[in-house]
Structure 1
Amino acid sequence: MKITPITGCQETLCIRVPKVYDWVTRQADFFRSFNGTNGLADLNFECNGVTGIAADPCELLNGNSNSYCNTKHGIVCNNLQVECIITDAMGNPVDPEKPSAILCQELTDPRNRESFEFTIPNGVTPDTVTLQKVKVLKKGFFIIQVTNGNGIVCTSDVQSFALVEKFFLCAPPGTHLQCEISDFQCDATLCCNPDGTFNQVDVAISMCQNIQMEAMVKLEITADFCQPRQELPFECPPLQVPPQCPEIFPGS
C-alpha cells in the first residue's frame, strides 16, 4: 500500500546516498579438471566410510559386479548422478547469489589506481575519456557429490576456485568496489575408464557479475515528508453457531 506524503510540508533536504560512478556487467567462467590418480587424490572422496584412493566413485558406485555397470561399450557414467555444490570453507552448502557467499574484492590499491585514456566514437569528433584499471578477485568453494541408484553417496573434500579479472572503469580516488554475483551455475561431469575405474571430473563454473564503483555523496533535494499509511482494520468474525437438528431435538 502506498505511503501518503504530508502535503504542504515540502522543504529542501540534505541526504547521504551512494553515487554510482560506473557500472558494467560481465560473465565470468572458471574451469578445472581433476585427472587420473592425482585428481582422485585431490578430490579425496568419502564413500560410506571409505576414504582416500580406495574411495573411487566409479568402482564403488558402478562396480564391475553391479547390475548398473556396463563396460561393454566403454565409459560407464550413465547411472551416476554428479552434482557440484557451492559451499563455505567448511563444506557447508551456501546460496552463491547471496551476499558474501562468493568473495568478490578489489586487488588494486583504491588510492593509486592506474589510469588509461580511451577514445569513444561520438560523431565527427571522438571523445577521450580517462578510466582506471581495477583488478577484481572472485573466490569460493565447492564439493563434488556422486550418487547411484542404490542411494550410496560419495562426497569430495572442499575444493576452492579463484578468478581474477581486470576492468577499466570510472574509479577516481574515494570510490570503492560494489560487486554482486547473480545467475550462478556450477556443473560437474564424471567420466570413468572402460574397466570401471576413475578417469576424471570436469568442473565448469559460470557467473554473472554486476561491477559498480560507488562513493557516498551528500545531495540537496526538494521533497515532501511522508506519513504512515492507514492500518487495515481488524474485526473479529461473528460466532458461528452449529445448526440445530429439529428432527430429533428438542423433542416434539
Structure 2
Amino acid sequence: MGHYHHRHDKERLCIRTRKVYDWVTRQIDVPLRSFNGPELEDIFPTSKCPRQGLLCDCIAERGLDPSELTIRCFLSDAQGNRIDPVVDQDALIFQEIVQPQGRQPVNITLPSGDTVTLQKVKALIKGHVVVQIVSGNGVVVCESKPIPFATAQTFILCAPEGTELVGHISFFECDSSLVCTDNFSQLDVSITLCLEVQMEADVKIEVEARLCQPREELAEATLCPTAKFPSQCPEVFPAH
C-alpha cells in the first residue's frame, strides 16, 4: 500500500480572488406588451404566414380554430434562435446604468436599529423572445420575429467605488395569448424572470494554508479474484 505524505507546516499566502460585496435576488415582472393592427402584422413575417394581411385572417384561411391553437413563447437571441436563459447568458444584455453623479449613497436602518450607508445601483436588462402559434397536431403555423424586451431596475446594495455589477438570470418564463375576433386581433406577451445581482471586485487576501502535494497513485486494480474462505465458528472451534 502506498503512503500519503502531508506537510504540517502552514505558511501565509497572498492570493487574488473575486470578492462578493453584496448579493440579492429579485423577481421581475416585465410590463405586458400588446401588439395589434399594423404592429402585430409587422412581427409575423409573411414567409412564415404566407397570406399578406391580418394574422387572424391567415389563421382562419387555414381552417384553424383560434381557441384550439397553442401560443408559446421562448427566450431567443437577436436572430430568433432559442436559447437557455440559465446557460446562454451572453444572449442577454445586463449592464449598469451609469448615473451622472455616480452611485448615490442611501442610509438604511437595519432591523437591529443600526444605520448603514449603501449605494443606489441601476441596472438595464434587455433581450428577445419569439412567439410561435402551434396547431393542435403540433405544427408551427406562424412564428414571430425576435421581439425585444427591456426593463430597468434600481437596487440598494453595498457597492463602494471600484466594485462591478454582475448579474444573471436564474429563472425565465414567457407567456403569450392571441385574441382573434371578427373586429379585433391582439397578441399579449408577458415575461417573468428571476435576476441574481452581485457587486464584485478583485481583491488580494492573506490566508494561512499549507501547499498541496500530489498524492501517490493507488495500486492498480487486478482482475484476478482473491481467495475467499468460508466463515468460521470461533466460539465452537478451535476451543481451548
TM range (shorter): 0.7 to 0.9
Match of 1:171 in 2: 159
The alignment status of 1:80 with 2:69, answered yes or no, reads yes
Residue-pair matches, total: 219
The answer to which of 5-14 and 128-137 deviates more is 5-14
Q: Does 1:132 find its partner at 2:132?
A: no
8 Å contact from structure 2 (residues 49, 58) kept in 1: no
* Structure 1: distance between partners of 2:217 and 2:179: 61
Query: Which residue of structure 2 aligns with residue 205 of structure 1?
Result: 191
1:47/1:153 contact within 8 Å kept: no
Secondary structure in structure 2 of the residue aligned to 1:78? helix
Counterpart for residue 113 of structure 1: 103
Partner of 2:229: none
Q: Greater CA deviation, 228-237 or 34-43?
A: 228-237
Q: Unpaired runs of 5+ in structure 1?
A: 70-76, 239-252
Aligned residue in 2 for 1:144:
131
Amino acid at match of 1:44: F
Name 1:182's counterpart in structure 2.
170
User: SS of 2:91's equivalent?
Assistant: coil
> For 1:162-213, what per-residue CA distance to the aligned partner results, in whole angstroms no more than 9, with x for missing partners?
00011111111111111121111111111211x3x76211111111111111
Q: Letter of the 2:81 partner, please give it.
A: N
Give the partner amino acid of 1:140. Answer: G
Quick one: structure 1 residues 18 and 49, their matched pair in 2 at CA, closer, same or farther if it must change by over 3 Å? Answer: same
The 2-side partners of 1:231 and 1:34 are apart by 64
Q: Indicate conservation of the 8 Å contact 1:111/1:173, yes or no.
A: no
- Answer yes or no: is the 8 Å Cα contact 2:126–2:149 preserved in 1: yes
Per-residue CA deviations over 1:15-54 (Å, capped at 9, x if unaligned) read 1111111111111111333343134234234464616534
The one-letter code sitting in structure 2 at the alignment partner of 1:220 is E
Given that 1:44 and 1:51 are in contact with CA atoms closer than 8 Å, whether structure 2 keeps it comes out as: no
**1:20 alignment counterpart:** 20
The TM-score normalised by the length of structure 1 is 0.75
- Aligned equivalents of 2:100, 2:195: Cα separation in 1: 20
Q: Corresponding residue for 1:44?
A: 44
Q: Give the letter aligned to residue 174 of structure 1.
A: G
Give secondary structure in 2 for the equivalent of 1:41.
Answer: helix
Alpha-carbon distance in structure 2 between the residues aligned to 1:205 and 1:175: 29
* Residues 52 and 19 of structure 1: CA distance in aligned 2, closer, same or farther (over 3 Å): farther
Report the RMSD for the aligned CA atoms in angstroms: 2.8
Contact 2:49 2:142 in 1 (8 A): no
> 1:223 is matched by which residue type in structure 2?
A
Residue in structure 1 matched with residue 208 of structure 2 by the alignment: 222
The change in CA–CA distance for 1:148 and 1:228 in structure 2 (over 3 A counts) is farther
